[in-house]
């Protein structure tokens, strides 16, 4: 019983301290140049993955590295507000963003599989490219 009053007493003083500081300033918007640079970086990374997979024999480590880098870039795009994370942004963009992240994970898993299935790698890569194109067209 003694714990509850202490917790309650701590809560008002915390909120009073926060009110004394005033409202948080709005987060400044990300400059369009940052979004454009990250979008270009994602495109380059996907092209690097395609090039690595197109060699004979396919350069799987290079493709894996490019896909891992693309996953990081998608996260950076979201963190900088270049890609929507949730409503109130258009639902299409949020869905495409989530779809791209899932497809990159599928591609990474296909590249890491042993033995590798070239058809699965190609299908996963093509899905990533299509979704990245839709995302770039609709949301960036």
State residue 90's pLDDT score. 59
State residue 123's pLDDT score. 94
- What does the alpha-carbon distance between residue 85 and residue 132 come to, in Å, rounded to a whole number? 15
Every domain of the chain and the residues it spans: 32-139
Instruction: Please compute the mean of the pLDDT values over residues 10-21 and round it to a whole number.
Output: 42
**How large a percentage of the chain has pLDDT more than 90?**
32
Instruction: Please compute the mean of the pLDDT values over residues 31-43 and round it to a whole number.
Output: 87
Does position 54 have pLDDT exceeding 70, yes or no?
yes
Does position 97 have pLDDT exceeding 90, yes or no?
no
Does position 44 have pLDDT exceeding 50, yes or no?
yes
Q: Confirm whether pTM is higher than 0.85.
A: no
Lowest mean pLDDT among 23-37, 57-71, 92-106: 23-37
Does position 104 have pLDDT exceeding 60, yes or no?
yes
Q: What is the pLDDT confidence band of residue 16, given thresholds at 50, 70 and 90?
A: very low
Listed residue (131, 68, 71) closest to 99, CA to CA: 131
CB of 135 closer than 8 Å to CB of 97:
yes
Torsion of CA 79, 43, 138, 127, to 10 degrees: -100
């Amino acid at each position: 019983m003694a714990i509850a009053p202490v917790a309650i007493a701590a809560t008002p003083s915390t909120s009073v301290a926060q009110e004394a500081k005033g409202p948080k300033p709005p987060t400044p918007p990300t400059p369009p140049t940052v979004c454009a640079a990250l979008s270009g970086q994602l495109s380059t990374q996907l092209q690097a993955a395609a090039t690595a997979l197109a060699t004979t024999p396919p350069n799987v480590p290079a493709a894996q590295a490019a896909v891992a880098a693309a996953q990081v870039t998608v996260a950076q795009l979201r963190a900088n507000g270049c890609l929507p994370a949730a409503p109130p942004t258009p639902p299409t963009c949020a869905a495409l963003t989530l779809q791209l992240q899932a497809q990159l994970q599928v591609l990474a898993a296909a590249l890491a599989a042993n033995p590798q299935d070239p058809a699965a790698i190609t299908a996963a890569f093509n899905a990533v490219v299509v979704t990245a194109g839709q995302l770039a067209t609709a949301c960036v």
